[in-house]
Structure 1
Amino acid sequence: MSTRGFEFQVRSSERPRGATRLTPRVQKPKVRLPWKKCFGWLFNLMALIALVVGAIYGGQALWPWLNRPVTEISVQGNMHYVDGQALHAVLQEEVKGTFFDLDLNSIQKMVEANPWVERADIHRIWPDRLVVNIDEELPVARWGDKQLVNSVGRIFTPQQAQLDELAGLPRLYGPDDQVQEAMRYFSTLSQQLRPLQMKISDLILEKRGAWTVDVIVADQPLRILLGREDLRERLYRFSTIYTAALKDRISQIEQIDVRHTNGVAVRWKQPAST
């Protein structure tokens, strides 16, 4: 029997081989209730308001305890010419107020108005203390007849009794705007004259710039006219001539003029009349 004309279809129950696409599971979106979020914001806001209100009322209650009246004033420093007790009494009278309300700049200006106070450092120590540290002036010389000058050339005017107490200081004379120049040359000249056993008693700077110095040597006063030019060379010439020819006759000399080019001019003391 012939099999032509017949077709056979074979169906397999097996799954087809190869990759199979899986259909993703669709998740339902979560629904967040807006009232929960609003409740969180409201809670945070109320907490913040409570903190602010508490800080305000707490600060108002705490401030008087922190900002107490100043009840103790201390004046410190190595003071010789500043009357510490008198200054303390003035501060007790003038300084009024609480710890944080004090005007330290005004207090500093008031203290430094004292001519002997070079610098005042003012600071507070909680809870109720004011400390005033004094740096006192250190006078180096007298400036003219009524004032003093310190090492940096600052002029100040003390009381006459204190000037009298410092009568032994050397005296400098000159225009006020050249006080620092006078101080510099005073320092230089003092060192140059020290090997000759000379101590400056007066140093004069004239307006035109010429220098005159009065010294004490062997307990005798001597005036030296230096002029305004070639000061170093002139002083060297004076030192040479003085050491070689004039030192032993110093008691007879009143003045030495070193402004000459090749030598010095000597003015001798007049013999005492009998």
Structure 2
Amino acid sequence: MWHDVRMLNATTNALLGLLVLSLVASGLWWVAQRPMFTLKTIRIEGVGEIHLRHVNPSTVRTTAIPRIKGNFFTANLDAVRQAFEAVPWVRKATVRREWPNKLIVTIDEHEALGTWGEDGRLVSVKGDVFTANLAEAEEDGELAEFSGPEGSEKEVVARYRELQDWFKAISLAPDAVQLSGRYAWTVRLNNGMVVELGREQSKTTLKDRVDRLIAIYPQLVMRLQDKIESVDMRYPNGLALKAQGLAFGVNGRKK
């Protein structure tokens, strides 16, 4: 081997290459540890021009900042993102570096639409369930009430939007929407009336039942005024109604 000049040259070049790489790596490590690259600023901003309403410096300092490790070069951006997504009200966070010692965190904040179930959670306008301070959410306006099987959150919110449109014809709006374990729908309107809509048997089942109620509602109000407590629309040929001290029914079986 020692008499093979080409092998000796190749070995020498390889060792020199390793030495150079080691020196470069050491130099980069030394530079990266300089104080000028210590993170000094973490700027938080909303998506686009949207102003953040609930994510504030105090919650960031107590929840996210203690979990951020490293400097401009060594900070793990995915870990930083996860730290900010653990902050109440944060739906999604994206993180980027800005030379030489700054991180920019862009936050997509939850917008509360209502409460979900009975465990104090909130549901957003996008159908995401999250945990945050209920009093803060109520500062933005009255919250609707939602419930349903696990995983049905987006479906329930979408149905709520449809019900809003459907009941505009009689100047009413849903205050609460429930999807039962048997996938039957119930809505409470803002006049206190509860409407049983039942299960969907086709794409138009619920809309047809709401339309039937809307068609007869003016007559019901004329006769009963504000005494209506609940209406059951699960009958194919009519409805069942409960008012203060009264109950009315129709022929036909519920579906």
Gaps of 5+ in 2: 1-8, 10-14, 247-255
Aligned to 1:238: 213
Provide Cα deviations, 1:60-119, integer angstroms capped at 9, x if missing partner: 546544562222222222221222343146555443322211111111111101231001
Provide Cα deviations, 1:155-196, integer angstroms capped at 9, x if missing partner: 111134335546721101111222222122111111111121
Aligned to 1:261: 236
- Contact 1:147-1:157 within 8 A present in 2 as well: yes
CA distance in 2 between counterparts of 1:124 and 1:98 reads 10
Q: Does 1:120 align with 2:89?
A: no
- Contact 1:75-1:131 within 8 A present in 2 as well: yes
The size of the alignment, in residue pairs, is 225
Q: Does 1:140 align with 2:100?
A: no
Name the SS of the counterpart of 1:237 in structure 2: helix
CA distance in 2 between counterparts of 1:222 and 1:153 reads 25
Aligned to 1:223: 194
Name the SS of the counterpart of 1:135 in structure 2: strand
Aligned to 2:6: none
Q: Does 1:172 align with 2:143?
A: no
Aligned to 2:129: 155
Equivalent pairs: percent with the same residue? 28
Out of 38, 41, 56, which is 1:72 matched to?
41
Relative distance call for 1:256 and 1:130 in structure 2 (3 A) is same
Relative distance call for 1:228 and 1:86 in structure 2 (3 A) is closer
CA distance in 1 between counterparts of 2:179 and 2:164 reads 15
- Contact 1:75-1:88 within 8 A present in 2 as well: no
Q: Does 1:108 align with 2:81?
A: yes
Name the SS of the counterpart of 2:73 in structure 1: helix
Provide Cα deviations, 1:7-48, integer angstroms capped at 9, x if missing partner: xxxxxxxxxxxxxxxxxxxxxxxxxxxxxxxxxxx9xxxxxx
Relative distance call for 1:89 and 1:64 in structure 2 (3 A) is farther
Q: Does 1:192 align with 2:161?
A: no
Cα distance, 1:132 vs structure 2? 1.4
Aligned to 1:6: none
Gaps of 5+ in 1: 1-41, 43-48
Aligned structure 1 segments of 4 or more residues deviating by more than 6 angstroms: 49-56
Cα distance, 1:51 vs structure 2? 10
CA distance in 1 between counterparts of 2:16 and 2:240 reads 95
- Contact 1:74-1:88 within 8 A present in 2 as well: no
What RMSD over aligned residues (CA atoms) do the two structures have, in Å? 3.0
What amino acid is the match of 2:124? Answer: N
Name the SS of the counterpart of 1:122 in structure 2: strand
Aligned to 1:183: 157
What amino acid is the match of 1:99? Answer: F
Structure 1 length-normalised TM:
0.70
CA distance in 2 between counterparts of 1:210 and 1:91 reads 41
- Contact 1:153-1:183 within 8 A present in 2 as well: yes
Relative distance call for 1:56 and 1:211 in structure 2 (3 A) is closer
CA distance in 1 between counterparts of 2:147 and 2:18 reads 68
